[in-house]
Amino acid sequence: MFEAEADGLRELRSANVIRVPEVIDCGVFDGESYLAIERLPLEPATASVERSLGRQLAALHRQVSDRFGWFRDNTIGLTFQRNTPADDWVDFFRAHRLGAQLELAAVNGYGGELQGLGVRLMDELPALFLDYEPAASLLHGDLWAGNWGNVAGEPVIFDPAVYYGDRESDIAMTMLFGGFGKEFYDAYAASWPMKPGHERRIRLYQLYHVLNHLNLFGRSYLGQALQLIRAVL
């Protein structure tokens, strides 16, 4: 897990468009695994820093690959995240994001309505992309408010779950738990406007993270997952 996170930080740093902490070392010492990264003296966010984050995130998303996925698997939180490269985004998302979380939910005892609606949604995924072909953008992958900060007036991102995918999925995560202001979204939109139909796809991408929270933290997220599936359908 730490090795994959270290590689993710290096991938983000290589884009050279937004600050990412430097990886110092990763390994095992005295039977304990560790990841050592640059220390970040974080400060409260400001409107100016949020605007910079919006512009720089759009620049990060313009770093693209010819395939979706990544060269290695990693984790989303503590959940295994498969990144086997694919040419088609719908196939990749169905197999390695939505389908994987639904399968894990079934193992964890969440069957019935969740699985029935989940199967319907997976069957209807192509309809959400009839007029939209996402680029394989470099993604943070887990961009909630706790995974970015302000260092001396400069935005910095960390704790990623990196892969190449639809940029809307990063935006969806920023909207799921709050913590990002109007300045951030306005700056992102000015740099790279969202495409028509993104509102419905945003709910789809939020569902991936809500299902992951269901699998990690329990039944309190079941109602939100069902609500999101119905909204997308």
Q: Is residue 142 flagged as an active site residue?
A: yes
- Per DSSP bridges, beta strands 79-81 and 136-139 are unpaired
Q: State the pLDDT confidence band at 94, using cuts at 50, 70 and 90.
A: very high
What confidence category does residue 168 fall into, taking pLDDT thresholds of 50, 70 and 90?
very high
pLDDT tens by residue, 198-231:
999 999 999 999 999 999 999 999 999 999 999 9
CATH topology assigned to domain 41-232? Aminoglycoside 3'-phosphotransferase; Chain: A, domain 2 (3.90.1200)
Quote the tokens at residue 12: 């983000």
Local confidence band at 154 (pLDDT 50, 70, 90 cut-offs): very high
Alpha helix (H) residue ranges in the chain: 2-15, 47-61, 89-93, 99-107, 113-124, 168-176, 182-191, 198-217, 222-232
pLDDT score, position 90 = 98
Whether residue 150 contacts residue 49, with contact meaning beta carbons closer than 8 Å, is answered with yes
**pLDDT at residue 198 in the model:** 96
- Nearest CA to 203 out of 175, 180, 222, 177 is that of 175
Q: Mean pLDDT, to the nearest integer, of 116-144?
A: 97
**DSSP code at position 147:** G
Sequence spans of domains, the chain: 41-232
What is the band of 187 on the pLDDT scale with cuts at 50, 70, 90? very high
Question: For residue range 53-93, what is the model confidence (pLDDT) as tens digits?
Answer: 999 999 999 999 999 999 999 999 999 999 999 999 999 99
pLDDT classification of 109: cutoffs 50, 70, 90:
very high
Give the pLDDT score at 2. Answer: 97
The C-alpha atoms of residue 138 and residue 164 are separated, in whole angstroms, by 5
Q: Which of 142, 159, 166, 170 is flagged as catalytic?
A: 142
Give the separation between CA 142 and CA 170, rounded to whole angstroms: 7
- How confident is the model at residue 216, as a pLDDT? 97
User: What pLDDT does residue 121 have?
Assistant: 97
